[in-house]
Chain A
């Protein structure tokens, strides 16, 4: 596959653009517009629509509201307004053109009037998530988490919700709850090595806070999770750096040497960010 096309599709599929830095968002917006304008024949209709959806989000982030409105109308003409993603897009437009309260009102009405009775689980889930994201800043942490938990009760197999909850608990320093949520993510995606890494990290921070008696056991549990993560992905930098640190703390020399070797391997890789990070970690070990 063409590397340019593959890059855009990967960014869209992994939603990397939602966490990209402002500089990256800005350049990605320009690149994507040029690419879509060039009319790549290799793009299927589904891929084209997915990239257009990403362009809509980038346009919103960058503040080009008129263009975002035009993109929304293109989608609405094509698919009709009664579609899960269109509901979320419309709420976003109301958010930026009007106020959060208006968007909240739109989504609440949508849920009460139709989605509660419809059988479209995706629509209900997406709209509820959007509603929560809008309410996030206006509610207290306790109330917000309760609302997320209510949604989890309705959709216990949605990994994003569990991950989000884990992040919230982690931010509050409630490591046990956070690790429980991540275990749920792993039940849904047993090969998610990033989640194994995150669970290991939560347990590591828990170990730092634990008393001496529990510390070693928690560190061991954390180490096991990191080991599983690198078992699933050989060059997972986060996994190997924590393995090196924990094995150093626990005095596991063989494991430390192995981790160092792997970090050196990553340092030599073509990935600039991983290579620089691995170098830094090796210097501090």
Chain B
């Protein structure tokens, strides 16, 4: 949520609260008038400024909600952790477009099947990593 949207939200909520309170006060006065005089109170409607305040509060509230949406960002699964974006506020619905995000970040959504994770050769994996760590250590020593 950006600062502008936060400010708008606060102003909108303040306006809505204020207009609500004003409306309450107005109706209280109307009741008192009805009890103490012979004024035709049915003809007295809610003042324009209160109605406009409600309208303005609602408009600002809607704006603040829309402005709170940020563009979606992603981090790639491998490589440098650079924030990637497709400059979209919402995710795609069509499958052919929705999968573009997966391609962008290098993710295979069916990896649970295609990477055959339950058949991983633990020993081979450990050997590979040990070799890599040894190579890195010897490389660090040389430098």
Is B truly associated with A? yes
A273 B118 Cβ-Cβ under 8 A? no
A18 → chain B closest CB, angstroms? 4
A10 B107 Cβ-Cβ under 8 A? yes
A96 B113 Cβ-Cβ under 8 A? no
From known contacts A11-B77, A270-B84, infer whether A233 and B96 are also in contact, taking CB-CB under 8 Å: yes
A133 B118 Cβ-Cβ under 8 A? yes
From known contacts A133-B121, A234-B97, infer whether A22 and B74 are also in contact, taking CB-CB under 8 Å: no
State A7–B77 Cα separation when bound (angstroms). Answer: 6
Residue A236 CB within 8 A of the other chain: yes
A160 B79 Cβ-Cβ under 8 A? no
Nearest A residue to B117, CB-CB: A15
Which residue of A7, A18, A100, A233 contacts B120 across the interface (Cβ within 8 Å)? A18
Could you mark each residue 62-106 of chain B with 1 if its beta carbon is under 8 Å from any beta carbon of chain A, else 0?
000000000001111111101111000000000111011011111
State A160–B102 Cα separation when bound (angstroms). Answer: 20
B103 A237 Cβ-Cβ under 8 A? yes
B113 A159 Cβ-Cβ under 8 A? yes
State A62–B131 Cα separation when bound (angstroms). Answer: 11
DSSP class of B's interface residues: helix, strand, loop or mixed? helix
DSSP class of A's interface residues: helix, strand, loop or mixed? helix
A129 contacts which chain B residues (CB < 8 A)?
118-119
Chain A interface size range? 35 or more
B143 → chain A closest CB, angstroms? 17
Nearest A residue to B124, CB-CB: A137
Chain B interface size range? 35 or more
B112 A160 Cβ-Cβ under 8 A? yes
B20 → chain A closest CB, angstroms? 33
A185 contacts which chain B residues (CB < 8 A)?
113
Could you mark each residue 229-240 of chain A with 1 if its beta carbon is under 8 Å from any beta carbon of chain B, else 0?
001111111000
Residue B46 CB within 8 A of the other chain: no
Which residue of B106, B115, B119, B133 contacts A271 across the interface (Cβ within 8 Å)? B106
Nearest B residue to A163, CB-CB: B113
A164 B122 Cβ-Cβ under 8 A? no
A274 B126 Cβ-Cβ under 8 A? no
B140 → chain A closest CB, angstroms? 13
A273 → chain B closest CB, angstroms? 6
B25 contacts which chain A residues (CB < 8 A)?
none
> Which of the segments A105-113, A192-200, A241-249 contacts the partner chain?
A192-200
B113 A160 Cβ-Cβ under 8 A? yes
Could you mark each residue 106-143 of chain B with 1 if its beta carbon is under 8 Å from any beta carbon of chain A, else 0?
11111111111111111101101111110000000000
Nearest B residue to A273, CB-CB: B106
From known contacts A14-B107, A24-B78, infer whether A60 and B122 are also in contact, taking CB-CB under 8 Å: yes
State A129–B118 Cα separation when bound (angstroms). Answer: 6
A236 B129 Cβ-Cβ under 8 A? no
State A33–B122 Cα separation when bound (angstroms). Answer: 21
Which residue of B95, B107, B108, B113 contacts A189 across the interface (Cβ within 8 Å)? B113
State A183–B8 Cα separation when bound (angstroms). Answer: 55
A residues adjacent to B (C-beta < 8 A): 3-4, 6-7, 10-11, 13-16, 18-26, 60-63, 88, 92, 95-96, 100, 126, 129-130, 132-133, 136-137, 159-160, 163-164, 167, 185, 189, 191-195, 198, 231-237, 266, 269-274
B residues adjacent to A (C-beta < 8 A): 73-80, 82-85, 95-97, 99-100, 102-123, 125-126, 128-133
- Rank and list the top 6 A-B pairs by shortest CB-CB distance, nearest first: A14-B111, A22-B132, A15-B117, A233-B99, A129-B118, A7-B75
Given A61-B122, A164-B119; 17 other pairs, CB 8 A cutoff: A3-B75, A11-B77, A14-B109, A21-B78, A26-B132, A60-B126, A62-B133, A63-B130, A95-B122, A130-B118, A133-B119, A195-B114, A231-B96, A234-B96, A234-B100, A266-B103, A272-B80
